[in-house]
């Protein structure tokens, strides 16, 4: 059985949500979005540690949530995040205890399915890295600064990337180290590994694993939670 650490970046300000409180700490159903998200992983075989990165002022709240949700045989840690998602995860990586796999999952994707997490872990064991995603349903355009369309890449090869993004621990540590050294900032973890020319596999998930980003996403999340209760 492989040992696994789950890293949850939850240190974003959530400005697109137009709320005072950061998104992971908004209530959804009977608890916060962060707690809903962590619950999805708890029955995963081999999970031994959960590391959550929050802003300084939410460390206490993060720790309370971990105390509430993490079973005694598992370690729950809450640490201070950074200016960017990448820095938050870099800080969390310094605390990882698992030796095999590290999963990174956005705090604000509370509808991920256990089977999809498992599929992603299996692929990461085999290939080094694996991320969950879905085929792009819209035609995607590349534009310039004037918002003129420059290219229409074939949709056949375009996928929307979600999380979890799962990697063998040494590979992810190396990728983060190298990105920091080179001053490279990516918007996901996979891009840091891809630039080392290492293989990352795309694993098909589903569209219920959306990221709660805009007020409309929160409305949808509330409907889905009500339905499941
Ligand atoms: O901003 P975005 O939607 O890409 O954020 C994705 C995840 O990264 C969220 O869970 C957010 O809380 C987290 N994040 C972070 N540290 C930052 C910025 C974002 O942990 N500085």
Residue 57 has a CB neighbour count (10 Å cut-off) of 9
Report pLDDT for 20: 78
Tell me, in angstroms, the distance from the centre of ligand 1 to residue 201's CA.
23
Tell me, in angstroms, the distance from the centre of ligand 1 to residue 81's CA.
9
For the chain, how many residues are written? 229
C-alpha–C-alpha distance, residues 85 and 75, integer Å: 22
Residues framing ligand 1 (Cβ under 6 A): 9-12, 24, 53, 81-85, 88, 106-108, 211, 213
Four-point Cα dihedral 129, 133, 138, 143, nearest 10: -30
Report pLDDT for 1: 86
Mutate to test the pocket of ligand 1, among 7, 8, 11 (most ligand atoms within 8 A of CB): 11
For the CA of 107, the nearest atom of ligand 1: 10
Tell me, in angstroms, the distance from the centre of ligand 1 to residue 88's CA.
8
Report pLDDT for 12: 83
Report pLDDT for 229: 80
C-alpha–C-alpha distance, residues 62 and 85, integer Å: 17
- The set of residues, in sequence order, having a beta carbon less than 8 Å from that of 16 and lying 6+ positions away, is 213, 214
C-alpha–C-alpha distance, residues 20 and 26, integer Å: 10
Query: Range of 11's domain?
Result: 4-228
Report pLDDT for 10: 96
Number of domains in the chain: 1
CATH assignment at residue 68: 3.90.550.10
Tell me, in angstroms, the distance from the centre of ligand 1 to residue 121's CA.
22
Mutate to test the pocket of ligand 1, among 25, 26, 34, 88 (most ligand atoms within 8 A of CB): 88
pLDDT (tens place) for every residue of the chain, 229 residues total: 899 999 999 998 766 656 678 999 999 999 999 999 999 999 999 999 999 999 999 999 999 999 999 999 999 999 999 999 999 999 999 999 999 999 999 999 999 999 999 999 999 999 999 999 999 999 999 999 999 999 999 999 999 999 999 999 999 999 999 999 999 999 999 999 999 999 999 999 999 999 999 999 999 999 999 998 8
- Strand pairing class (27-28; 31-32): antiparallel
Report pLDDT for 78: 98
Give pTM, 2 decimals: 0.95
């Amino acid at each position: 059985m492989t040992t696994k650490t789950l890293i949850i970046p939850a240190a974003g300000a959530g400005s697109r949500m137009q709320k005072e409180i950061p998104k992971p700490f908004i209530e959804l159903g009977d608890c916060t979005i962060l707690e809903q998200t962590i619950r999805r992983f708890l029955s995963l075989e081999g999970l031994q540690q959960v590391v959550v990165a929050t802003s300084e002022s939410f460390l206490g709240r993060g720790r309370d949530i971990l105390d509430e949700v993490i079973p005694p045989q598992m370690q729950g840690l809450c640490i201070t995040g950074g200016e960017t998602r990448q820095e938050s995860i870099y800080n969390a990586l310094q605390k990882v205890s698992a030796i095999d796999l590290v999963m990174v999952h956005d705090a604000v994707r509370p509808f991920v399915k256990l089977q999809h997490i498992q599929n992603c872990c299996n692929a990461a064991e085999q290939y080094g890295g694996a991320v969950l995603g879905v085929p792009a349903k819209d035609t995607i355009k590349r534009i310039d600064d004037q918002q003129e369309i420059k290219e229409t890449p074939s949709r056949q090869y375009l996928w929307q990337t979600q999380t979890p993004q799962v990697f063998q621990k040494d590979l992810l540590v190396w990728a983060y180290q190298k990105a920091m050294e080179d001053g490279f900032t990516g918007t996901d973890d996979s891009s840091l590994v891809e630039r080392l020319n290492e293989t990352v596999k795309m694993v098909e998930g589903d569209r219920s694993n959306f990221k709660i980003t805009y007020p409309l996403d929160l409305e949808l999340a509330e409907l889905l939670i009500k339905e499941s209760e």
